[in-house]
Amino acid sequence: MIKLKRTYIGIAFLVLMISAVGAASFWPSENGNDNDIHYMDEPSGGYDNFEGTKEFTQTPTSVTDRKVIRSGYFVIEVENFDSSYAAVFAVAQGTGGWIESSNVYKDKDGRRIGYITLRVPSDNFDAVFNEIKQYGDVKSEQTSNMDVTEEFIDLSARLDVLYAQEVRYMELLGKAETVEDILSIEVQLERIRSNIESLEGRITYLSSQIDMARINVTLQEPEKGEEFPLVSAFKRAASAFVDAFVWIIILIGYAIPIAIVGTLGYFGVKRIRRKK
């Protein structure tokens, strides 16, 4: 019985030793040797199923690196419309900007109103905005700062992935031997290039909006004050007299042809009676 127990203990000890050795063989070495790891040169499942992947670790963006689109709008009542209108053009051009659009019209009371959209460098936004406000009486104003940092980072990361895919597919194209593989890879390259151009276009647009702020300016002449009642009455009377005179002339214009036709008809009938 004692010999049997010793045999069982020996077998158990031997099993523990084998398990320990096996576990040690699967534990990573301290030297981090990756020589036993092999990477496939060709994508599994064919060229059409290959999609490059890449992980990005985003670091916190500092305040100075944030991407912000700035814009402003205000309505100003000005005494001298022409000089104020010209001053807006001058301040935009003087700060490295330009006039994007402009329009002037008159309302029902004859008051001139001008709409101007100017683009100025974002760094000069506050200076230009405050200067234009000095041209007259500000009736309303508004500014906005749209933060597009997150979108900008996302677009850049997606663009990096597409660049990596494009490089990989170009490498595969160099290794392709059959016409089928070449055509398949070219289709993928065309798709990737189309996506790259779309993202590049969006980034370019955002960059232009970030670099050049937009300011919408509305200039308007003051509203005309109420007139003295007696003066207003005389003006209405004069207007009514002119309207009546115009109608008289119009009626005379209608009556003259009728009178001529009637006179000719009268003398014609009279002459016929004489002949009889």
The one-digit pLDDT tens for each residue of the chain (276 residues) are 444 445 445 555 454 454 444 444 433 444 444 433 333 344 433 444 444 443 433 444 444 488 999 999 999 999 899 999 999 999 988 888 999 999 998 888 888 999 999 999 999 999 999 999 889 999 999 999 999 999 999 999 999 999 999 999 999 999 988 999 999 999 999 999 999 999 999 999 999 999 999 999 999 998 876 555 665 566 677 777 777 777 788 878 777 888 787 777 777 777 777 766
Number of domains within the chain = 2
Q: Is the domain of 108 the same as that of 77?
A: yes
Q: Is the domain of 165 the same as that of 142?
A: no
The domain that contains 115 carries what CATH number?
Answer: 3.30.70.260
Residue where a domain stops, chosen among 120, 146, 172: 146
Segments forming the whole domain that contains residue 172: 150-211
Residue where a domain stops, chosen among 211, 242, 261: 211
The answer to whether residue 159 sits within a structural domain is yes
Residue where a domain stops, chosen among 131, 146, 161: 146
The answer to whether residue 31 sits within a structural domain is no
- What backbone torsions phi and psi does residue 205 show, to the nearest 5 degrees? -65, -45
Cβ atoms of 181 and 208 closer than 8 Å: no
Q: Is the domain of 202 the same as that of 155?
A: yes
How many residues are recorded in the chain? 276
Dihedral sign of CA atoms 152, 155, 157, 163 in order:
negative
